[in-house]
Amino acid sequence: MKKPPFIPTLIVLGFVVLMTNLGFWQLNRAQEKEQLLILLANDNITSISQAQQIKDLPQYSNIKLYGKLLQSPQLLLDNQIENQQVGYHVFTPFYVYEMNLYVMVNRGWIAKDGFEEKAVSVVSDSVELFGKLNHSPQVGMQLGEIELESNKTVQVITYFDREKVSKFLYENLCKDLNCIVSDRVLLLEKNQNQGFKREWSPIIMPPEKHTGYAVQWFSMTFVLILIFIYWVSKLKD
């Protein structure tokens, strides 16, 4: 049996490394989904006493804040579909007194058809607010740049630019350097007042599917190695 050619060997080795890594990546994803499902099923509520907690707590943690909803500036995230109907997700700033902290609250979905700004007005009384921590909405297709105007109480945005929104809130709400604007959002709990239609159950691929994909990648890697060994064994001196 002669020495296998360098280039085919290199190609096969590259595919083996790639497919093995994809298999382990799927196993990691399965573990992440298991942890996420545990969090979604967890009813424990964390009372936030330090701003750092909001940054450190995992996604979908249940939290409680004390403060007030602000009338302005409210952001309406456009092109949100609910039962084949177009609408907005309403984001309203919430001020936490003790921490001088601002958090954007997703109050839910409201229909675009017949929308009036007064529909999203708030009662700015002190209140305990419950909800799930989440990351800022991810940008799908970014068309142009969003323009945020300081003199508008309610304004429509086509996507949620985390850095731009945080900077805008800081410039318009903060009165001193100790002010904190969180880059995470709160999904308002269903039973809370001043909200709209809220269905916060994410569509999650089950961990079992990720494990199945991992098995497929490892199986294909094993078959490729067997084929390569068989091919090399057939090479003539």
Same domain, 67 and 107: yes
Q: Tell whether 82 and 168 lie within a shared domain.
A: yes
Residue 177 pLDDT: 75
Segments of the chain with pLDDT less than 70: 1-2, 139-145, 202-203, 236-237
Nearest-10 Cα torsion for 178, 181, 182, 187: 130
The rounded Cα 174 to chain-centroid distance in angstroms is 25
Residue 196 maps to a domain: no
Determine the pLDDT at residue 2: 64
* Total tally of structural domains belonging to the chain: 2
**Residue 201 has what pLDDT?**
73
Same domain, 152 and 70: yes
Residues 124 and 226 in one domain: no
Query: Quick one: 178 and 113 in the same domain?
Result: yes
Same-domain status, 50 and 18: no
Decide if 200 is inside a domain.
Answer: no
pLDDT at 203: 67
Measure the CA–CA gap between 11 and 6, rounded to whole angstroms. Answer: 9
Six token digits for residue 228: 């390569």
Q: Domain span at residue 221? A: 6-37+210-233
The position carrying tokens 């456009």 is 78
DSSP 57: S
Same domain, 59 and 154: yes
- The pLDDT value recorded for residue 237 is 55
Give the pLDDT confidence score for residue 154 in this predicted structure. Answer: 92
In a domain? residue 201: no
Q: What is the pTM assigned to this prediction?
A: 0.75
Say whether both 180 and 223 belong to one domain: no
Question: Are residue 173 and residue 108 in the same domain, yes or no?
Answer: yes
Residue 205 lies in a domain: no
SS3 74: strand
The values of phi and psi at residue 3, to 5°, are -65, 130
Residue 226 is predicted with a pLDDT of 92
pLDDT of residue 187: 93
Helices (H), 117-161: none
